[in-house]
Amino acid sequence: MDIGLDLGSSRTRLFIDKKGKVLDEASVAAYNVMTNKIIAVGDEAYAMLGKTPDSIRAEFPLASGVIAQSALVEDMVHILMKHVCTSKIVMPRVVVSIPGDITEVEKRAVVNAISFFGVRRVYLIENTKVAAMGAGIDIMGPHGAMVANLGAGTSSAAILSLGGIAESKCIKVGGNKMDDEIVKYMKHKYSLVIGQPMAERCKIAIGSLVENNGEDNTFRVKGRDAIGGLPRYVDVTESEIRDVIMETAMEIVTMIKDVIENAPPELVGDIYEDGITLTGGLAKLKGFAKLIADNTGIRVTVAKEPEDCVINGCGEAIQYIGEVEKSAKMDINPLMAAY
């Protein structure tokens, strides 16, 4: 059995060869603080965020695309993979996506977390490569293609050609930082204390980076009054939230521009013809494609189902495992390492 794994800061997804995506759960683990026993993982644990007693803690064990708490990630991956690998005899080979700027120590942490389940071998591949493959882009030819993968913990952009990366950049800025900015804004402006899940719902509901033809939609944010301590709500407008998240969005735009400016001229010509493809859940934020297009002068398109491009690309990359297993000398192979 061959498996593709997208171990993201916000969501964990699993792909099985010839079956497609079989699991999509929140990257959250809830555990007992006294015994360290896992109480729940995935969506079940996400529902507990901000609602647990002192004896239980629910956390995202990955931060900015890398593992922050190894033991929690090992337990979370083990439990989630058991959902799809019911046979104890099966020792799957796993293709897992990683950020482009990950260190050797961080790579080893990812490999160890997955190996804990008892897999046969782990293959690493950069998330921009698999995002492009999942978006239906041919990265194996000499024609340049540019992808910006906008996730929860990290955002990365890369120019791809001949199965490799000609120029890339990754920053630890994404949807989670926008959520944090909304949390800070609500406390500073309205003295209202809210959690990350409420901030995320607000961003999804009315988050926008462009003017909305005179309309200013509202969203009711519920939380605790910072002064009185009692429950309270505030109706915030789309234009308010746009001002809050715009600075983070511009950091991502600047990253994309840096990649273009440092790329070989011939590849830039290809990108000018074909445009930039956006993948990742944050790509769905209203007006993001237009903001990038306005600042780069290049056509920008959002991939179909952008949040699934990375996991679908991991599934596409499974076909290259065989060449590595045979120790074949391939001139082009997108898989970067095997453990």
DSSP per-residue string spanning 280-315: SGGGGSBTHHHHHHHHHSS-EEEPSSGGGHHHHHHH
Residue 52 lies in a domain: yes
Q: What is the pTM of this model?
A: 0.91
Question: In terms of domains, do 92 and 39 share one?
Answer: yes
- Number of domains forming the structure of the chain: 2
Residue 176 lies in a domain: yes
Residue 54 lies in a domain: yes
Q: From CA 148, how far away is CA 64, in angstroms rounded?
A: 16
Question: In terms of domains, do 220 and 296 share one?
Answer: yes
Residue 86 lies in a domain: yes
CATH number, domain of 216, equals 3.30.420.40
Residue 189, H or E segment: helix 175-190
Q: What is the pLDDT of residues 32-90, one digit of tens each?
A: 999 999 999 999 999 999 899 999 999 999 988 788 888 899 999 989 888 887 665 56
Question: In terms of domains, do 169 and 93 share one?
Answer: no
Residue 82 lies in a domain: yes
Q: From CA 327, how far away is CA 321, in angstroms rounded?
A: 10
Question: In terms of domains, do 70 and 210 share one?
Answer: no
Question: In terms of domains, do 119 and 143 share one?
Answer: no
Q: Do 29 and 72 contact (CB within 8 A), yes or no?
A: yes
Question: In terms of domains, do 191 and 97 share one?
Answer: no
Q: What is the pLDDT of residues 158-183, one digit of tens each?
A: 999 998 999 999 999 999 999 999 99
Cite the beta strand spans of the chain per DSSP E.
Answer: 2-7, 11-16, 20-26, 29-32, 38-41, 56-59, 62-63, 66-67, 93-98, 121-126, 145-150, 155-161, 164-171, 192-193, 218-225, 231-237, 276-279, 300-302, 337-338
Residue 132 lies in a domain: no
Q: Over 90: is that where the pLDDT of 232 sits?
A: yes
Q: What is the pLDDT of residues 263-279, one digit of tens each?
A: 999 999 999 999 999 99
Question: In terms of domains, do 103 and 217 share one?
Answer: no
Residue 307 lies in a domain: no
Range of the domain at 120: 2-127+312-338
Size of the chain in residues: 339
